[in-house]
Structure 1
């Protein structure tokens, strides 16, 4: 969430950066400024009324102590009108604060200066490419056919139990999933991240804190009776560990990781590109989250990007790194790198990770602050990244590592799987 003071003092810059996002509701900016002016005027008027009431109360006390009861009663009679005015002003101030809040949460984060103007994925920048496409046999199959051939993932059984987008992993397919989770967690620990086990359901305050609510409410599974939400990513509970917390500067950076299942409705998703593991309603993911000093957050973003790339390199996958354009970034992000692996059988790129810097957008909602060495309290910067999401990694391993004899497991995973071939 943007800070209203910044919007008021930097109107032109705010409009310019929103244009980078191709954000159309720019009239919100002036509406927020107008409501804020009215709110500040009301607050000033209320402060004056309360000062007058306090002065009158003090005067009444002095008159009573001096035995001037009649004069005190006369002033007391006049304060009744003050109380009514104060009540009305308080109600008006509350209404204006609620209106300002409802408007400001509709504004996305402002893109960092390196983010280019654009409206779709076609406008994203390719900043790095690693490796070459795998040389596959002539009869190479997409992963959903490989899954059926080797009986490792059953999509129809998932439909029977729950519905489309909830696959059942079987035998070596289930063991490959577990191996990848342990592989990712072990590497995160070695990189200095503290492992956390967190709830898989969160309350609305947590969803608001990281920006899923109200923006992505329709994409989240809601448990109506208890008013809880199934998490779309571990980012939500892991970041919310620090909601309403004031840290010490020397505590930064904070580095946490967590494995969770993730649940996404993916409303409106259809077509060939959502076949098999390409897009699911339930999937597993290891997430890395950092809370940093504002001066260090973009250095941290680069480090997190390189860390995720190191995982892809160990798995021997051909990948590329994109810097997302303004129009393709998430609502809360100031800058995002996407990592995409090449699907040799599908002949297309598959996103397997997003690493984002939210600057103060989440911390302002979370009231996540730190006290500097000079004693000043300020908002921290938050970052997160998929390290990694499993479905498309599994799809890529199955497709890119297929041979005439079976699917060869990447060497880095063999000690986790206990086997080197799916056949």
Structure 2
């Protein structure tokens, strides 16, 4: 959420930053509502002051026994109270309109974020690893012989409908091993605090991180009013919701493995085969809570944490900085990691790491108390996948596939699989 005072002070800069995202005219719309709201508030306060003075006149008229003047003034007071109530109601309505408008305005990109319209304008920062050149034609993950027995889309559809899968046997075990490996790496090497959080949250938590109101159709809500988290970014970031934390406790670095739920309403018709885009999936999510001075450095650190997972899994990838037209709603800058998928012969997203500045903190009213005193300031927040577990499974299976339908597994997973190093063509671990 944006600071209305900053928009008032420099509307041209605000408008120029949003124009880089392809949005125009919002500054004038916001300031028009703000001006009308402030005018109603001022009018109500002026009328209240006049009413207070009139109340004294009523008392004086009654004291001197002037019944006619007393009745006249009392009638005027009643009308004044009605006018004040009306102006206050109008101000409250305009305040709600302004809040709703601001809640739907995306974050402002940093100056050095490349300008562009869509994913074709993203800028590659670096690559790691060289995609293999096998002497056979690689297939997609769900077509690998050893995977077929353990990846049941028909049963998933029977149980829940389209875009669900049931993992069985060795494939389910590899999936679980990946999540455990990622958690261990982030906790033991990267110093993140392992955290377990609910997958059902209150609406204000979805508002706090920016999933609502703009992207409500992409999430699921229960009849009782809870929302299913699209990622544990929601819960981890909201751990400081409404809090005033000590600066000495920052940065707070957390990691969680959770189920995630997305309706994929905005992705109809995309990636309908395989398990690349599912309604229910798992992620290992990283969140950092920092101050303004260390936020960008933390973004680079978190990017390296995600890259380290890919490197340990021996998966070729590339890192991109997203352009202004492809960035997420709450981000000021985003790094995407795309992993090589031989079955598709292309790189596909497996992690997004975003720096949000104080955008989410303003929505959550999450602040910190500076060391040595001073006025509290809003925390800065970051989030990133470390990694999407299902997509990591896809990448491991496709990059390790062999001509006979078996799959060689990354060495770092062997201890999590009781020493097994491959998935056989029959679907067993060996």
- Same fold by TM-score greater than 0.5: yes
Counterpart of 2:324 (choices 323, 326, 343) is 326
Residue 396 (1) aligns with residue 392 (2): no
- Cα deviation per residue 1:30-77 (whole Å; 9 max; x = unaligned)? 11101101111222222333344455667888x79xx94758994973
Bigger mean CA offset, 309-318 vs 398-407: 398-407
Question: In 2, Cα distance between the equivalents of 1:69 and 1:321?
Answer: 84
Corresponding residue for residue 159 of structure 2: 161
SS at the partner of 1:276? coil
Task: Please report the TM-score for the alignment, with normalisation by the length of structure 1.
Answer: 0.92
- Separation of aligned partners in 2, 1:131 and 1:11: 46
The question of 1:41 aligning with 2:39 is answered: yes
CA distance 1:168–1:132, change in 2 (3 Å): same
Structure 1 match to 2:356: 358
How far did 1:274 drift?
3.8
Task: Determine whether 1:413 maps to 2:413.
Answer: yes
Partner of 2:210: 211
Counting only pairs closer than 5 Å after superposition, residues 212-227 of structure 1 correspond to structure 2 as 212-223=211-222, 225-227=223-225
Cα displacement (A) at 1:300 = 0.7
**Contact 1:248/1:370, CA 8 A, preserved across alignment:** yes
C-alpha deviation, 1:4, in angstroms: 1.4
- Per-residue CA deviation, residues 252-271 of structure 1 (Å, 9 max, x unaligned), is 11112111111111125355
Which region of structure 1 is more displaced relative to structure 2, 172-181 or 370-379? 370-379
| Alignment root-mean-square deviation, CA | 2.3
Structural mapping, 1:184-195, within 5 Å: 184-190=182-188, 191-195=190-194
CA distance in 1, matches of 2:334, 2:206: 20
Cα shift readout 1:161-194 (whole Å, capped 9, x = no counterpart)? 1122111111111111111111111122222222
Superposed counterparts of 1:171-210, under 5 Å: 171-190=169-188, 191-210=190-209
Tell me the equivalent position of 2:427. none
Q: Pick one of 76, 95, 98 that aligns with 2:96.
A: 98
Q: Distance in 1 between matches of 2:140 and 2:156?
A: 19
Aligned position for 2:85: 87
The whole-number CA distance in structure 2 between the counterparts of 1:99 and 1:309 is: 42
5 Å-filtered alignment, 1:279-358, equals 279-358=277-356
User: In structure 2, what is the equivalent of residue 138 of structure 1?
Assistant: 136
Deviations 1:290-314 (A, max 9, x none): 1110121111111100111111111
- Give unpaired runs (5+ residues) of structure 1: none
Question: How do 1:26-37 and structure 2 match up within 5 A?
Answer: 26-37=24-35
User: What secondary structure does 2:255 align onto?
Assistant: strand
| Counterpart secondary structure, 1:151 | helix
| Preserved CA contact (<8 Å) 2:40 2:87 | yes
Aligned to 2:14: 14
Conservation of the 8 A alpha-carbon contact between 2:351 and 2:385: yes
CA contact (8 A) 2:203 2:225 kept: yes
Change in Cα spacing, 1:327 to 1:320, as seen in structure 2 (3 Å) is same
Alpha-carbon distance, 1:317 to partner? 0.8
CA deviation map 1:357-386 (0-9, x unaligned): 111211111111112233202211111000
**Following TM superposition, by how much is the alpha carbon of 1:398 offset from its aligned partner in structure 2, in angstroms?**
0.5
User: Number of paired residues?
Assistant: 417
Report the Cα distance in structure 2 between the residues aligned to 1:228 and 1:288, rounded to whole angstroms: 23
User: Aligned to 1:33, what secondary structure does the other structure show?
Assistant: helix
3-state DSSP of counterpart to 2:325: helix
